[in-house]
Amino acid sequence: MKLSDVKTLITSGTIILAVALYLIFSDPKEEATPVTTDTNVSLEETKEYVITPEFAMDKTGKQLIDVNYLSANDGDTINVELKGEKKKVRFLMIDTPEMNYDKGDPMPYAEQAKALTIQKLEAAKSVQVLFDKGPETDKYGRLLAYVFVDGVSLPEILLNEGLAAVRYVNAPNNTLENELLEVQDVAKNAKLNIWEHENYLQRDGFHPEEVSK
């Protein structure tokens, strides 16, 4: 065997050995491209809502009005400051279980609904109300309006969570009725919260006794 052949064999063997050692001892993790997710983005931020402010204004023909949130009576009634005056706002076509102040214990899910309403309003940078085509107040002097927090429909949030139902529908203050029912159906089909109990909500209102069965 010629000297040149020996050198070639040695060189080839060295290369093969080096490749083998690399394959054995190299960390396969170094070759993988890491997959990252943005854990700071919540589901709510990425959700597409049915009732956007633009959609609601276009359907009702009304404009959003800025208010300052003061407090919440329950899940569907809040107190705001509007043009320097304190006003009570009743969410249009939305009903949450009653807190039953001075009358007994809160109805099932009443406290959860109120807590969610407070949470969203206290965290909001912008709170706005939107009137419909009908009367702006009820017989108790409460404003009847849709409420938006940072551009998101608060009634829709409550319906999404199964903590409210579509009730007290009176034309012409029912422009967004179909959209609210669409949202409600999703929670109802999923049996979320108030919908977990088949007969909790009946035509005449909530029946706490059905939850305790």
Min mean pLDDT across 58-67, 96-105, 166-175 is at 96-105
Q: Which of 31, 48, 90, 167 is catalytic?
A: 90
Q: How confident is the model at residue 38 (pLDDT cuts 50, 70, 90)?
A: very low
90 noted as active-site residue: yes
| Strand bridging mode 85-91 / 143-149 | parallel
Q: Which of 45, 98, 167, 177 is catalytic?
A: 98
In sequence order, the β-bridge partners of residue 77 are 90
136 noted as active-site residue: no
Q: What is the pLDDT of residue 131?
A: 99
DSSP letters, 20-35, are HHHHHHS-GGGTSPPP
- Closest by CA to 58, choosing from 155, 157, 132, 160, is 132
CA dihedral 127→173→143→79, nearest 10 degrees, is: -40
pTM confidence score: 0.78
Q: How confident is the model at residue 35 (pLDDT cuts 50, 70, 90)?
A: very low
Q: How confident is the model at residue 29 (pLDDT cuts 50, 70, 90)?
A: very low
Is-contact 67 128, C-beta < 8 A?
Answer: yes
Q: DSSP 3-state assignment of 103?
A: coil
**Mean pLDDT of all residues in 128-151:** 98
**Mean pLDDT of all residues in 87-106:** 95
Is-contact 114 96, C-beta < 8 A?
Answer: yes
Residues in Cβ contact with 201 at an 8 Å cutoff, skipping those fewer than 6 apart: 165, 194, 195, 207
Q: What is the pLDDT of residue 153?
A: 98
pLDDT digits (tens, 9 = 90+) for 43-83: 345 467 899 999 999 999 999 999 999 999 999 999 999 99
Report domain extents, the chain.
47-210
**Mean pLDDT of all residues in 86-104:** 96
The topology (CATH level 3) of 47-210 is OB fold (Dihydrolipoamide Acetyltransferase, E2P) (2.40.50)
Cα–Cα dist 78/88, whole Å? 6
Q: What is the pLDDT of residue 4?
A: 47
Q: What is the pLDDT of residue 20?
A: 52
- Closest by CA to 151, choosing from 57, 78, 88, is 57
Strands (E), 55-159: 65-72, 77-82, 85-91, 94-95, 127-130, 143-149, 152-153
- Closest by CA to 128, choosing from 60, 182, 202, is 60
Q: What angle do CA 148, 136, 85 make, to 5 degrees?
A: 75
203 noted as active-site residue: no
- Cis status of the peptide bond prior to 135, with omega within 30 of 0: no
**Mean pLDDT of all residues in 180-207:** 97
Q: Which of 54, 142, 196, 203 is catalytic?
A: 142
Cα–Cα dist 156/179, whole Å? 9
Average pLDDT, the chain: 86
Statement: residue 156 has pLDDT above 60: yes
